[in-house]
Amino acid sequence: MAQKIIIIGAGPCGLGAAWRLSELGHREFTVLERNSYPGGLAASFTDSEGWTFDIGGHVIFSHYPEYDRILQEILGKQLVSHTRKAFIRTQGKWIPYPFQNNVRHLSPEALLECLVGLAWAGNQPHSPRNFKEWIRATFGHGIAKHFMEPYNEKVWGIPLELMDFNWISERVKTVDFEKIMRNVIYKKDDDDWGPNAKFSYPKFGGTGEIFRRMAKALLDYICYNSEVVEIDVKNKRLKLEDGSEMLYDSLINTMPLNEFVRRCSGLKEDVRKAAQKLVHNKGIMVGVGIRRRIRPRRSWVYFPDPSVPFYRVTYLTNYSSHVAPPDHTTFIAETTCRSDEGDPGDPVSQTVEGLVSAGLIKEDDKSRLAATWSHTVEYSYPIPSLDRNANLEIIHPELERFGILSRGRFGGWVYETGNTDHAVMMGFEAAEKLLNMRKETVFPFAASTD
Protein backbone atom coordinates (compact mmCIF):
# COMPACT_ATOMS: atom_id res chain seq x y z
CA MET A 1 0.00 0.00 0.00
CA ALA A 2 1.21 3.55 -0.78
CA GLN A 3 2.39 5.44 2.28
CA LYS A 4 0.00 8.09 3.60
CA ILE A 5 1.78 11.45 3.77
CA ILE A 6 0.36 14.43 5.63
CA ILE A 7 1.69 17.92 4.98
CA ILE A 8 1.07 20.61 7.59
CA GLY A 9 0.75 24.03 5.93
CA ALA A 10 -0.14 25.26 2.43
CA GLY A 11 2.62 27.87 2.27
CA PRO A 12 5.38 27.66 -0.36
CA CYS A 13 7.09 24.68 1.31
CA GLY A 14 3.95 22.60 1.85
CA LEU A 15 2.75 23.38 -1.67
CA GLY A 16 6.20 22.49 -3.08
CA ALA A 17 5.97 19.09 -1.38
CA ALA A 18 2.39 18.53 -2.58
CA TRP A 19 3.24 19.62 -6.12
CA ARG A 20 6.11 17.14 -6.34
CA LEU A 21 4.11 14.25 -4.85
CA SER A 22 1.32 14.89 -7.32
CA GLU A 23 3.79 15.19 -10.22
CA LEU A 24 5.30 11.83 -9.24
CA GLY A 25 1.87 10.21 -9.26
CA HIS A 26 1.69 9.70 -5.48
CA ARG A 27 -1.96 10.19 -4.53
CA GLU A 28 -1.98 9.27 -0.83
CA PHE A 29 -1.39 12.69 0.66
CA THR A 30 -3.30 15.52 2.33
CA VAL A 31 -2.33 19.13 3.03
CA LEU A 32 -3.77 20.59 6.25
CA GLU A 33 -3.84 24.40 6.34
CA ARG A 34 -4.97 26.48 9.29
CA ASN A 35 -5.97 29.51 7.17
CA SER A 36 -8.79 29.73 4.66
CA TYR A 37 -6.26 30.61 1.93
CA PRO A 38 -2.86 29.32 0.69
CA GLY A 39 0.53 31.05 0.56
CA GLY A 40 1.48 31.45 4.23
CA LEU A 41 3.89 34.36 4.65
CA ALA A 42 3.98 34.73 0.87
CA ALA A 43 0.21 35.29 0.53
CA SER A 44 -1.20 38.50 -0.96
CA PHE A 45 -4.49 40.19 -0.17
CA THR A 46 -6.65 42.12 -2.67
CA ASP A 47 -9.47 44.30 -1.36
CA SER A 48 -12.78 45.12 -3.04
CA GLU A 49 -11.33 48.27 -4.65
CA GLY A 50 -8.49 46.35 -6.29
CA TRP A 51 -5.61 47.22 -3.95
CA THR A 52 -3.23 44.29 -3.53
CA PHE A 53 -0.82 44.04 -0.60
CA ASP A 54 1.92 41.49 0.08
CA ILE A 55 3.22 40.55 3.52
CA GLY A 56 6.27 42.80 3.14
CA GLY A 57 8.18 43.22 -0.08
CA HIS A 58 8.20 39.80 -1.73
CA VAL A 59 10.24 39.52 -4.91
CA ILE A 60 10.99 36.35 -6.81
CA PHE A 61 14.54 35.30 -7.58
CA SER A 62 15.13 31.62 -7.93
CA HIS A 63 18.21 29.49 -7.43
CA TYR A 64 16.54 26.34 -8.72
CA PRO A 65 15.51 25.20 -12.23
CA GLU A 66 12.70 23.11 -10.68
CA TYR A 67 11.10 26.25 -9.21
CA ASP A 68 11.65 28.17 -12.46
CA ARG A 69 9.81 25.39 -14.25
CA ILE A 70 6.81 25.65 -11.89
CA LEU A 71 6.75 29.44 -12.26
CA GLN A 72 6.77 29.14 -16.04
CA GLU A 73 4.06 26.50 -15.99
CA ILE A 74 1.66 28.49 -13.82
CA LEU A 75 2.44 32.10 -14.77
CA GLY A 76 4.38 32.08 -18.08
CA LYS A 77 4.41 35.63 -19.48
CA GLN A 78 2.52 36.91 -16.46
CA LEU A 79 5.77 36.80 -14.52
CA VAL A 80 7.47 40.13 -15.23
CA SER A 81 11.24 40.71 -14.88
CA HIS A 82 12.72 43.75 -13.16
CA THR A 83 16.15 45.23 -12.50
CA ARG A 84 16.56 46.08 -8.82
CA LYS A 85 16.88 49.75 -7.89
CA ALA A 86 17.44 49.60 -4.13
CA PHE A 87 18.67 52.39 -1.87
CA ILE A 88 19.63 53.17 1.70
CA ARG A 89 18.00 56.33 3.00
CA THR A 90 20.17 57.99 5.62
CA GLN A 91 21.66 61.41 6.37
CA GLY A 92 19.07 62.86 3.96
CA LYS A 93 20.70 60.98 1.04
CA TRP A 94 19.74 58.15 -1.28
CA ILE A 95 22.68 55.73 -1.26
CA PRO A 96 22.50 52.93 -3.84
CA TYR A 97 22.51 49.41 -2.36
CA PRO A 98 24.83 47.79 -1.38
CA PHE A 99 25.91 50.53 1.02
CA GLN A 100 29.56 49.49 1.24
CA ASN A 101 30.08 49.82 -2.54
CA ASN A 102 28.54 53.28 -2.69
CA VAL A 103 29.88 55.13 0.35
CA ARG A 104 30.97 57.98 -1.94
CA HIS A 105 27.48 59.44 -1.48
CA LEU A 106 28.04 60.04 2.25
CA SER A 107 29.16 63.32 3.82
CA PRO A 108 32.98 63.76 3.80
CA GLU A 109 33.22 63.00 7.56
CA ALA A 110 31.16 59.81 7.29
CA LEU A 111 33.03 58.73 4.14
CA LEU A 112 36.36 59.16 5.93
CA GLU A 113 35.13 57.07 8.88
CA CYS A 114 34.02 54.32 6.49
CA LEU A 115 37.27 54.24 4.51
CA VAL A 116 39.52 54.35 7.59
CA GLY A 117 37.42 51.58 9.12
CA LEU A 118 37.70 49.45 5.99
CA ALA A 119 41.50 49.89 5.89
CA TRP A 120 41.68 48.94 9.60
CA ALA A 121 39.45 45.88 9.08
CA GLY A 122 41.63 44.66 6.23
CA ASN A 123 44.59 44.46 8.59
CA GLN A 124 42.96 42.69 11.54
CA PRO A 125 43.01 38.99 12.41
CA HIS A 126 39.52 37.74 11.66
CA SER A 127 38.06 35.55 14.41
CA PRO A 128 34.70 37.04 15.41
CA ARG A 129 32.52 35.29 17.99
CA ASN A 130 29.18 36.77 16.98
CA PHE A 131 27.44 38.83 14.27
CA LYS A 132 28.36 42.18 15.83
CA GLU A 133 32.05 41.27 15.97
CA TRP A 134 31.81 39.92 12.42
CA ILE A 135 30.45 43.26 11.20
CA ARG A 136 33.25 45.20 12.91
CA ALA A 137 35.95 42.80 11.71
CA THR A 138 34.64 42.77 8.13
CA PHE A 139 33.63 46.40 7.54
CA GLY A 140 35.37 48.43 10.26
CA HIS A 141 33.74 50.94 12.59
CA GLY A 142 32.53 53.45 9.95
CA ILE A 143 30.27 51.17 7.90
CA ALA A 144 29.26 49.42 11.13
CA LYS A 145 28.17 52.76 12.63
CA HIS A 146 26.50 54.29 9.57
CA PHE A 147 24.65 51.25 8.25
CA MET A 148 25.38 47.67 9.26
CA GLU A 149 24.72 47.88 13.00
CA PRO A 150 21.69 50.21 13.13
CA TYR A 151 20.05 48.52 10.15
CA ASN A 152 20.54 44.97 11.42
CA GLU A 153 19.39 45.93 14.91
CA LYS A 154 16.13 47.17 13.36
CA VAL A 155 15.57 44.10 11.16
CA TRP A 156 16.38 41.43 13.71
CA GLY A 157 15.11 43.22 16.81
CA ILE A 158 17.70 41.58 19.10
CA PRO A 159 21.24 42.61 20.12
CA LEU A 160 23.64 41.55 17.38
CA GLU A 161 26.00 40.00 19.97
CA LEU A 162 23.35 37.29 20.41
CA MET A 163 23.47 36.28 16.75
CA ASP A 164 25.76 33.92 14.90
CA PHE A 165 27.23 34.95 11.51
CA ASN A 166 27.58 31.57 9.77
CA TRP A 167 24.34 32.16 7.83
CA ILE A 168 25.67 35.15 5.91
CA SER A 169 26.86 33.63 2.63
CA GLU A 170 24.96 35.42 -0.15
CA ARG A 171 22.70 37.38 2.24
CA VAL A 172 25.23 40.11 3.08
CA LYS A 173 27.69 41.70 0.66
CA THR A 174 31.17 41.64 2.14
CA VAL A 175 34.13 43.79 1.12
CA ASP A 176 36.22 44.35 -2.00
CA PHE A 177 38.43 47.21 -0.80
CA GLU A 178 39.97 48.04 -4.17
CA LYS A 179 36.54 48.16 -5.81
CA ILE A 180 35.20 50.45 -3.07
CA MET A 181 38.17 52.82 -3.50
CA ARG A 182 37.70 52.82 -7.27
CA ASN A 183 34.02 53.70 -6.86
CA VAL A 184 34.95 56.59 -4.57
CA ILE A 185 37.76 57.93 -6.76
CA TYR A 186 36.00 57.50 -10.12
CA LYS A 187 32.58 58.49 -8.70
CA LYS A 188 30.99 55.27 -9.87
CA ASP A 189 27.70 53.80 -8.64
CA ASP A 190 27.94 50.04 -8.15
CA ASP A 191 24.54 48.58 -7.45
CA ASP A 192 24.21 45.23 -9.19
CA TRP A 193 25.49 42.89 -6.47
CA GLY A 194 23.58 39.86 -5.25
CA PRO A 195 21.13 37.18 -6.30
CA ASN A 196 18.17 39.59 -6.45
CA ALA A 197 19.83 42.23 -8.69
CA LYS A 198 17.29 40.95 -11.21
CA PHE A 199 13.98 39.72 -9.88
CA SER A 200 10.50 38.95 -11.08
CA TYR A 201 6.99 39.62 -9.87
CA PRO A 202 3.56 38.46 -11.04
CA LYS A 203 1.69 40.89 -13.26
CA PHE A 204 -1.56 40.31 -11.35
CA GLY A 205 -2.42 39.40 -7.78
CA GLY A 206 0.91 40.01 -6.00
CA THR A 207 3.37 37.30 -5.00
CA GLY A 208 0.53 35.32 -3.51
CA GLU A 209 -0.77 34.65 -7.03
CA ILE A 210 1.99 32.05 -7.47
CA PHE A 211 0.76 30.08 -4.49
CA ARG A 212 -2.94 30.57 -5.28
CA ARG A 213 -2.31 28.96 -8.65
CA MET A 214 -0.22 26.14 -7.23
CA ALA A 215 -2.95 25.52 -4.64
CA LYS A 216 -5.69 25.61 -7.28
CA ALA A 217 -3.99 22.78 -9.16
CA LEU A 218 -3.84 20.80 -5.88
CA LEU A 219 -7.34 21.66 -4.68
CA ASP A 220 -8.46 18.08 -4.14
CA TYR A 221 -5.65 17.49 -1.67
CA ILE A 222 -5.87 20.64 0.49
CA CYS A 223 -8.09 21.02 3.57
CA TYR A 224 -8.37 24.67 4.60
CA ASN A 225 -9.44 25.85 8.08
CA SER A 226 -7.74 22.75 9.45
CA GLU A 227 -5.39 23.58 12.29
CA VAL A 228 -3.26 20.73 13.63
CA VAL A 229 -3.28 20.94 17.43
CA GLU A 230 -1.71 17.65 18.59
CA ILE A 231 0.71 15.15 17.12
CA ASP A 232 1.31 11.75 18.72
CA VAL A 233 4.67 10.94 17.14
CA LYS A 234 4.88 7.33 18.34
CA ASN A 235 1.46 6.30 17.03
CA LYS A 236 1.71 8.58 13.96
CA ARG A 237 -1.63 10.20 14.69
CA LEU A 238 -2.59 13.85 14.67
CA LYS A 239 -5.56 15.80 15.89
CA LEU A 240 -7.24 18.83 14.34
CA GLU A 241 -8.85 21.75 16.14
CA ASP A 242 -12.34 20.35 15.42
CA GLY A 243 -11.39 17.17 17.35
CA SER A 244 -11.06 14.89 14.32
CA GLU A 245 -8.01 12.61 14.09
CA MET A 246 -5.89 11.39 11.20
CA LEU A 247 -3.25 8.67 10.86
CA TYR A 248 -0.16 9.04 8.71
CA ASP A 249 2.94 7.11 7.73
CA SER A 250 5.12 10.18 7.14
CA LEU A 251 4.66 13.82 8.04
CA ILE A 252 6.03 16.97 6.41
CA ASN A 253 5.67 19.86 8.81
CA THR A 254 5.97 23.55 7.81
CA MET A 255 4.45 25.25 10.88
CA PRO A 256 6.99 26.98 13.16
CA LEU A 257 9.22 24.30 14.66
CA ASN A 258 8.89 25.48 18.26
CA GLU A 259 5.07 25.41 18.01
CA PHE A 260 5.19 22.02 16.33
CA VAL A 261 7.37 20.46 19.04
CA ARG A 262 5.12 22.00 21.72
CA ARG A 263 2.14 20.21 20.14
CA CYS A 264 3.91 16.82 19.91
CA SER A 265 3.65 14.07 22.49
CA GLY A 266 6.28 11.32 22.71
CA LEU A 267 9.41 13.43 22.12
CA LYS A 268 12.40 13.42 24.45
CA GLU A 269 12.86 16.25 26.93
CA ASP A 270 16.07 17.54 25.32
CA VAL A 271 14.15 18.05 22.05
CA ARG A 272 11.52 20.10 23.89
CA LYS A 273 14.16 22.19 25.62
CA ALA A 274 16.05 22.79 22.36
CA ALA A 275 12.84 23.92 20.64
CA GLN A 276 12.07 26.38 23.44
CA LYS A 277 15.42 28.05 22.85
CA LEU A 278 14.71 28.92 19.20
CA VAL A 279 14.46 32.68 18.72
CA HIS A 280 12.31 34.63 16.26
CA ASN A 281 10.89 38.09 15.81
CA LYS A 282 7.52 39.32 14.66
CA GLY A 283 6.72 41.68 11.83
CA ILE A 284 4.21 44.43 11.25
CA MET A 285 3.46 45.07 7.60
CA VAL A 286 1.68 48.26 6.59
CA GLY A 287 0.40 49.04 3.11
CA VAL A 288 -0.32 52.62 2.05
CA GLY A 289 -2.02 53.66 -1.20
CA ILE A 290 -1.67 57.22 -2.50
CA ARG A 291 -3.92 58.80 -5.11
CA ARG A 292 -1.15 59.95 -7.47
CA ARG A 293 1.65 58.34 -9.42
CA ILE A 294 4.93 58.75 -7.55
CA ARG A 295 7.62 58.50 -10.19
CA PRO A 296 11.05 57.41 -8.91
CA ARG A 297 12.09 54.03 -10.35
CA ARG A 298 12.88 52.63 -6.91
CA SER A 299 12.25 48.99 -5.99
CA TRP A 300 12.80 49.24 -2.26
CA VAL A 301 14.60 51.35 0.34
CA TYR A 302 16.39 50.39 3.58
CA PHE A 303 16.20 52.66 6.63
CA PRO A 304 18.98 52.29 9.24
CA ASP A 305 17.98 55.40 11.26
CA PRO A 306 16.29 54.51 14.57
CA SER A 307 14.01 57.58 14.26
CA VAL A 308 12.23 56.00 11.25
CA PRO A 309 9.78 53.28 12.38
CA PHE A 310 10.28 50.81 9.50
CA TYR A 311 13.42 49.09 8.26
CA ARG A 312 12.34 48.68 4.64
CA VAL A 313 9.77 50.13 2.25
CA THR A 314 8.78 48.63 -1.10
CA TYR A 315 7.38 50.66 -4.02
CA LEU A 316 4.94 47.88 -4.96
CA THR A 317 3.36 49.67 -7.94
CA ASN A 318 6.82 49.72 -9.56
CA TYR A 319 6.63 45.90 -9.72
CA SER A 320 3.15 45.84 -11.23
CA SER A 321 0.79 48.73 -11.90
CA HIS A 322 -2.07 46.23 -11.54
CA VAL A 323 -1.75 46.08 -7.74
CA ALA A 324 -3.48 49.48 -7.47
CA PRO A 325 -6.04 51.55 -9.39
CA PRO A 326 -4.48 53.35 -12.42
CA ASP A 327 -2.12 56.22 -11.58
CA HIS A 328 -1.99 55.42 -7.90
CA THR A 329 1.05 54.35 -5.85
CA THR A 330 1.39 51.61 -3.24
CA PHE A 331 4.04 51.37 -0.54
CA ILE A 332 4.58 48.48 1.82
CA ALA A 333 6.53 49.19 5.00
CA GLU A 334 8.02 46.49 7.24
CA THR A 335 8.66 46.98 10.97
CA THR A 336 10.09 44.44 13.42
CA CYS A 337 9.05 43.80 17.03
CA ARG A 338 10.45 41.37 19.55
CA SER A 339 8.34 38.20 19.73
CA ASP A 340 7.09 39.12 23.22
CA GLU A 341 6.35 42.76 22.39
CA GLY A 342 2.84 44.17 21.84
CA ASP A 343 1.95 45.89 18.56
CA PRO A 344 2.81 49.60 18.39
CA GLY A 345 -0.23 51.83 19.00
CA ASP A 346 -1.21 52.85 15.49
CA PRO A 347 1.16 51.36 12.90
CA VAL A 348 -0.66 52.93 9.95
CA SER A 349 -0.33 56.55 11.12
CA GLN A 350 3.24 55.91 12.29
CA THR A 351 4.04 54.57 8.82
CA VAL A 352 2.42 57.50 7.01
CA GLU A 353 4.33 60.00 9.21
CA GLY A 354 7.52 57.98 8.63
CA LEU A 355 7.02 58.08 4.83
CA VAL A 356 6.66 61.86 5.01
CA SER A 357 9.67 62.41 7.30
CA ALA A 358 11.86 60.08 5.19
CA GLY A 359 10.89 62.01 2.04
CA LEU A 360 9.07 59.21 0.19
CA ILE A 361 5.80 61.14 0.11
CA LYS A 362 4.96 64.80 0.66
CA GLU A 363 3.04 66.27 3.57
CA ASP A 364 0.07 67.04 1.28
CA ASP A 365 -0.03 63.38 0.12
CA LYS A 366 -1.75 62.69 3.43
CA SER A 367 -4.86 64.19 1.84
CA ARG A 368 -4.44 61.70 -1.06
CA LEU A 369 -4.42 58.64 1.16
CA ALA A 370 -6.63 56.21 -0.78
CA ALA A 371 -6.01 52.87 0.99
CA THR A 372 -4.35 51.50 4.10
CA TRP A 373 -3.76 47.94 5.22
CA SER A 374 -1.89 46.32 8.07
CA HIS A 375 -0.98 42.75 8.89
CA THR A 376 0.99 41.40 11.85
CA VAL A 377 2.92 38.17 11.48
CA GLU A 378 3.85 36.51 14.76
CA TYR A 379 6.73 34.73 13.00
CA SER A 380 8.67 36.95 10.60
CA TYR A 381 12.41 36.11 10.80
CA PRO A 382 13.84 32.86 12.23
CA ILE A 383 16.87 34.28 14.05
CA PRO A 384 20.27 32.58 13.69
CA SER A 385 20.98 32.90 17.43
CA LEU A 386 24.32 31.70 18.79
CA ASP A 387 22.95 28.29 19.82
CA ARG A 388 20.51 27.82 16.93
CA ASN A 389 22.58 25.26 15.00
CA ALA A 390 23.20 23.18 18.12
CA ASN A 391 19.47 23.17 18.90
CA LEU A 392 18.47 22.26 15.35
CA GLU A 393 20.99 19.43 15.41
CA ILE A 394 19.15 18.01 18.42
CA ILE A 395 15.63 18.49 17.06
CA HIS A 396 15.69 17.52 13.38
CA PRO A 397 17.37 14.09 13.56
CA GLU A 398 15.02 13.09 16.36
CA LEU A 399 11.95 14.12 14.36
CA GLU A 400 13.25 12.23 11.35
CA ARG A 401 13.49 9.08 13.48
CA PHE A 402 9.69 9.32 13.78
CA GLY A 403 9.13 9.86 10.05
CA ILE A 404 8.74 13.64 10.38
CA LEU A 405 10.50 16.09 8.07
CA SER A 406 10.11 19.63 9.40
CA ARG A 407 11.02 22.01 6.59
CA GLY A 408 10.55 25.55 5.27
CA ARG A 409 11.40 28.97 6.70
CA PHE A 410 10.08 28.29 10.20
CA GLY A 411 9.51 24.55 9.95
CA GLY A 412 13.25 24.17 9.40
CA TRP A 413 14.06 27.45 11.25
CA VAL A 414 16.42 28.63 8.55
CA TYR A 415 16.84 32.22 7.43
CA GLU A 416 19.70 31.42 5.07
CA THR A 417 17.47 29.13 3.00
CA GLY A 418 14.24 30.84 4.04
CA ASN A 419 13.01 32.50 0.84
CA THR A 420 10.16 31.24 -1.32
CA ASP A 421 12.40 29.46 -3.81
CA HIS A 422 14.24 27.65 -1.01
CA ALA A 423 10.94 26.86 0.73
CA VAL A 424 9.37 25.36 -2.40
CA MET A 425 12.53 23.35 -3.03
CA MET A 426 12.72 22.11 0.57
CA GLY A 427 9.19 20.81 0.10
CA PHE A 428 10.07 19.35 -3.28
CA GLU A 429 13.10 17.52 -1.88
CA ALA A 430 11.25 16.36 1.25
CA ALA A 431 8.66 14.71 -1.01
CA GLU A 432 11.38 13.00 -3.04
CA LYS A 433 13.17 11.86 0.11
CA LEU A 434 10.01 10.21 1.44
CA LEU A 435 9.65 8.36 -1.84
CA ASN A 436 13.32 7.30 -1.53
CA MET A 437 14.35 9.16 -4.64
CA ARG A 438 17.19 11.37 -3.45
CA LYS A 439 18.95 13.03 -0.56
CA GLU A 440 18.15 16.60 0.33
CA THR A 441 20.50 19.37 -0.74
CA VAL A 442 18.72 22.60 0.26
CA PHE A 443 17.86 22.08 3.93
CA PRO A 444 21.17 22.27 5.82
CA PHE A 445 20.08 20.28 8.89
CA ALA A 446 18.59 17.19 7.21
CA ALA A 447 19.69 14.05 9.03
CA SER A 448 21.09 12.25 6.01
CA THR A 449 22.76 15.00 3.99
CA ASP A 450 26.21 14.65 5.57
Ligand X SMILES: Cc1cc2nc3c(=O)[nH]c(=O)nc-3n(C[C@H](O)[C@H](O)[C@H](O)COP(=O)(O)OP(=O)(O)OC[C@H]3O[C@@H](n4cnc5c(N)ncnc54)[C@H](O)[C@@H]3O)c2cc1C
Min separation Cβ 70 and ligand X, Å: 13
C-alpha to C-alpha distance for 252 and 254, rounded to whole angstroms: 7
How do the residues of the chain divide into helix, strand and coil, expressed in percent and rounded to 5?
Answer: 40, 20, 40
Site string for ligand X, 159-198 (x = CB under 6 A): ----------------------------------------
C-alpha to C-alpha distance for 301 and 292, rounded to whole angstroms: 20
Q: Which of 157, 205, 283, 384 binds ligand X (CB under 6 A)?
A: 283
Min separation Cβ 163 and ligand X, Å: 17
Q: Which of 17, 32, 148, 446 binds ligand X (CB under 6 A)?
A: 32
Q: Which of residues 225-254 bind ligand X (CB under 6 A)?
A: 227-228, 254
Does 11 engage in binding with ligand X (CB under 6 A)?
yes
Residues 6 or more apart whose CB falls under 8 angstroms from that of 398 comprise 267, 268, 271
Q: Residue 403's closest CA among 255, 232, 249, 211? A: 249
Q: Which of 21, 41, 75, 238 binds ligand X (CB under 6 A)?
A: 41
Q: Which of residues 94-113 bind ligand X (CB under 6 A)?
A: none
Please report, for residues 236, 254, 306, 391, 401, the alpha-carbon distance to residue 272 in angstroms, rounded to integers and kept in the order given: 18, 17, 36, 10, 15
Beta strand 52-54 with 44-46 is antiparallel
Min separation Cβ 368 and ligand X, Å: 26
Q: Which stretch binds ligand X (CB under 6 A): 26-34, 44-52, 144-152, 155-163?
A: 26-34
Does 52 engage in binding with ligand X (CB under 6 A)?
no
Q: Which of 33, 209, 365, 429 binds ligand X (CB under 6 A)?
A: 33
Q: Distance from first CA to last CA of the chain, Å, rounded?
A: 31
* Distant-in-sequence contacts of 77-80, Cβ < 8 A, 24+ apart: 78/202, 78/203, 78/204, 78/209, 79/200, 79/201, 79/202, 79/203, 80/200, 80/201, 80/202, 80/203, 80/319, 80/320
C-alpha to C-alpha distance for 260 and 248, rounded to whole angstroms: 16
Number of residues that bind ligand X (CB under 6 A): 35
**Which residues is 154 bridged to in the sheet?**
none
Q: Which of 9, 98, 202, 287 binds ligand X (CB under 6 A)?
A: 9
Min separation Cβ 283 and ligand X, Å: 5
Residues 6 or more apart whose CB falls under 8 angstroms from that of 70 comprise 19, 214, 424
Does 301 engage in binding with ligand X (CB under 6 A)?
no
Measured from the CB atom, the residue of 365 and 421 that comes closer to ligand X is 421
Q: How many residues does the chain have?
A: 450
Does 420 engage in binding with ligand X (CB under 6 A)?
yes
Stated as kind and residue range, the H or E segment containing 15 is helix 12-23
The DSSP symbol for 385 reads B
Min separation Cβ 241 and ligand X, Å: 8
Does 396 engage in binding with ligand X (CB under 6 A)?
no
Min separation Cβ 269 and ligand X, Å: 22
Q: Which stretch binds ligand X (CB under 6 A): 30-38, 76-84, 160-168, 340-348?
A: 30-38
Chain residues in the site for ligand X (CB under 6 A)? 8-14, 32-35, 40-42, 56-59, 227-228, 254-255, 283, 334, 377, 380, 408-411, 418-421, 423
